Amino acid sequence: MKKYHIETYGCEMNKAESAAIETALREHGWEKSAENEAQLVVLNTCTVRATAENRAWNRINQLAALKKDRDFALAVVGCMAEQHKSAIQKRAPGVDYVLGTFQKQSFSLMLDVIAAGQRIDIDEETPKYVFSADHHEPGAFRSFVPIMHGCDNFCAYCIVPYVRGRETSRDPEDIIREIERMEDMGVREITLLGQNVNSYRWERDGEILDFPGLLKLISARLRERYGDTEHGVNPRLREQRIGWLRFLTSHPKDLSPALVEVLASDPIFCRHVHLPVQSGSNSMLSAMNRKYTRENYLALVQSLRAAMPDITLSTDILVGFPGETEEDLEDTLDLMRQVRFSYAFMYHFNTREGTPAASMPNRIADKVKKQRLARVIALQKEITSGLMRERLGATDEVLIEDVSRRSSKEVLARTARDEMVVFPASRTRVGQFARVRLIAISGNTFRGEEA
């Protein structure tokens, strides 16, 4: 049997697309293996952050050098392949195939050619994103389901619209069919994915289905499968069905009052939203082309918490954007104190060639960017610690995800609020729900006991 090895860099969408690639490989008779045994090595790349791109370049060069001693096909796919196809072909001639975001249809052709011991050039395709039918990893109880692709926002610092293309949404019936297949295979938690997931919009025969409408449709179909007459999960079927739905990632300008109402109406939707703010300064938000103000953002947070008092929020924060002043940074710190995010992905500005920010004046020195980032990180650690202390003594439902790395007699679980909990339990409980009391804190993880 032919053997493959795949490595994935970047976001959850890349992870879902890698799972779809592996499905295609299995259908073509390939078996997963270690890299040193593979006849095909696939790198699914990211170009959103300079760090992810640099890691991919290092790996490309390393693997290309290994081809001098071992015969295998090397394919680079994903966003970096879309953005830097010619550069990859020039700098790393050992790469056999470079397939960008819009060349997914060519992957099966590539497999057939490799299996036949041949090598051909794959022509460029008409730019059109094609959704795969299946993104499930066999045996997994948590899965991603892409529902839309691309982005129309063109934030000044972001390369995504250029490598992922314009927004396109997936047929809702295809989405539901994939979710139902996953449920039948033992999946208990689904995360709906999109570069801007809440801008989902499907139109057919004059009827429009938006993101809140899609969520209502999904939850109604899931209840219908099991004869539920009310919102929520039939307790007798708790371990035989999807219990939680999440989604990533939301742009604040598109999170509507209708979506807040839908989330609050059904406990199948997890009480956590990742809502990237990027900055608390109106002047920076305008320069970034984020299309909302800090006042808009704070009002949105207030509406979410009014509808769901137990909800947690996480975010992305970008410091050191061209023209950022100390006052702008203080505005960001002030917003963090007001919102009290449970956690944040924090980073300083790095130039992405091809974006408007790449040519902006008033650059911030690296030393200053790092100092500002350190202040943001310190504040977030303080906020996270305070929120965790407030949760001690609470009892909550968790989905058990894995065995603890520190003890085989403990398991690692996650709450609907996206909090991590370690507690004593058998490894046979992985993939099941449980109720846990939070009794202590270890770093950014709770220690618990079953309630």
Specify the higher pLDDT residue, 120 or 391.
391
Q: What digits encode the pLDDT tens for the residues 38-73?
A: 999 999 999 888 888 999 999 999 999 998 889 899
Q: Which of 115, 132, 158 is the last residue of a domain?
A: 115
Kindly give, in sequence order, each residue whose CB lies less than 8 Å from that of residue 189, ignoring residues fewer than 6 positions away: 141, 142, 143, 242, 243, 244, 245, 246, 399
User: Max Cα separation, the chain?
Assistant: 63
Query: Of 348, 363, 391, which closes a domain?
Result: 391
Question: 60: domain range?
Answer: 2-115
Q: How many angstroms separate the CA atoms of 204 and 171, rounded? A: 9
pLDDT digit string, tens, across residues 174-191:
999 999 999 888 899 999
pLDDT at res. 230: 52
- Is the model's pLDDT at 237 over the cut of 70? no
Phi–psi pair at 344, nearest 5 degrees = -150, 145
Task: Residue count of the chain, please give it.
Answer: 451
Residue 128 reports pLDDT greater than 80: no
Handedness of CA 113, 117, 123, 128 (dihedral sign): positive
How many domains, the chain?
3
281 plus 346 within the same structural domain: yes
Residue 239 in this model has a pLDDT that exceeds 70: no
Q: What sign does the dihedral 428-432-435-439 (CA atoms) show?
A: positive
Same domain, 343 and 442: no
In this prediction, residue 294 has a pLDDT band, given cuts at 50, 70 and 90, of very high
Q: Are residues 164 and 19 both part of a single domain?
A: no
Q: Tell me whether residue 120 is in a domain.
A: no
